[in-house]
Amino acid sequence: MVTPARLEGRVAAVTGAARGIGRAIAERLAADGARVACIDISAARIEQAVAEMQARGADVRAYALDVAERNAVHAAFARIEADFASPLAILVNNAAWIRYQAPSAIDAETLDRMLGVGVKGLIWTLQAAQDPLQRSGHGSVINICSTAALRATPDSLAYCAVKGAVAGLTRAAAVDFGRLGIRVNAIAPAFVATAAALANFDEAGIAQRRRSTPLGRLADASEIASVAAFLASDDSSFINGELVVVDGGRTHAAL
């Protein structure tokens, strides 16, 4: 017997889908049968990524916008529903703009941008997607958080503020949206070996992260994507408001 792909025909939107974890999630949802709206601020990068995914048979489309801009988000989500001729069932809030700074060095512009993309952006997409998610009958939202919501590293004051807010707004949205039949959950990765993350650390810093992880290695973006696909699917139909830690055991370890 052939089992149908578990997300067959469902429309998904993934923010920050041009590279890294967002790209891996878009690819995985498409592989599981979803039709994916791939959103990114970089038009060139999202068009290139979508062309590569389409070449491998994925049903994906590119949308270039800044998720921090409320009007742009609302316009894009209306366009996504028209383009796919079906309401959005899966929303993955992955985009973030991150800088690590010592507390005394944090400037207003950097902080506004981090909060704009990483917190306000999620509120705008939730707002724009609420109605289609409800109409889809399978609404599931996955917010990409971080273990920075649970414990801190040096120079992460602003980042912990952003990801702490993501954990909190996930719980709040799970209450409001749950009553509409929409589930809202978050994933908290520790260190994932994406180009952006690797660029932030030298070899010693990366080796330290490997050593402090009981599994003895860094996560691959596909290992975050597989959890996102589970949370997007009916296999997780009674999970709502959870923060799923995907860190190889690092947060629990004293290594």
Cα–Cα distance measured from residue 119 to residue 163, given in angstroms and rounded to the nearest whole number: 8
Q: Which of 77, 97, 159, 177 is catalytic?
A: 159
| Distance between start and end Cα atoms, the chain | 46
Q: What are phi and psi of 32, to 5 degrees?
A: -85, 10
CA torsion, ordered 214, 220, 221, 223, to nearest 10 deg: -60
Chain residues 30-69 in contact with ligand NAD, contact rule CB under 6 A: 39-42, 66-68
Catalytic residue status for 63: no
Q: Segment 165-194, which members bind ligand NAD (CB under 6 A)?
A: 189, 191-192, 194
Query: Does 196 participate in binding ligand NAD (rule CB under 6 A)?
Result: yes
15 binds ligand NAD (CB under 6 A): yes
Task: Give the nearest distance from C-beta 191 to ligand NAD in angstroms.
Answer: 5
> Considering only residues 10, 12, 13, 20, which one is a binding residue for ligand NAD as defined by CB under 6 A?
20
Angle at 29 between CA 28 and CA 33, to 5 degrees: 115
C-beta of 222 vs 237, nearer to ligand NAD? 222
Asked if residue 146 binds ligand NAD (CB under 6 A), the reply is: yes
What is the identity of the amino acid at 253? A
> Which of residues 85 and 204 has its CB atom nearest to ligand NAD in the complex?
204
Sign of CA dihedral 88, 96, 145, 164: negative
233 binds ligand NAD (CB under 6 A): no
Helix/strand/coil for 136: helix
Binding to ligand NAD by residue 84, rule CB under 6 A? Answer: no
Q: Where are the alpha helices (DSSP H) in the chain?
A: 20-31, 43-55, 70-84, 108-115, 121-136, 157-178, 195-199, 203-211, 221-232
Answer yes or no whether residue 125 interacts with ligand NAD by CB under 6 A: no
For residue 161 the two structure tokens come to 């503020």
- Total of chain residues touching ligand NAD, rule CB under 6 A: 28
In the complex, what is the shortest distance from the CB of residue 66 to ligand NAD, in angstroms, rounded to a whole number? Answer: 4
Binding residues vs ligand NAD (CB under 6 A): 15-16, 18-22, 39-42, 66-68, 94-98, 117, 144, 146, 189, 191-192, 194, 196-197
Active site residues: 159
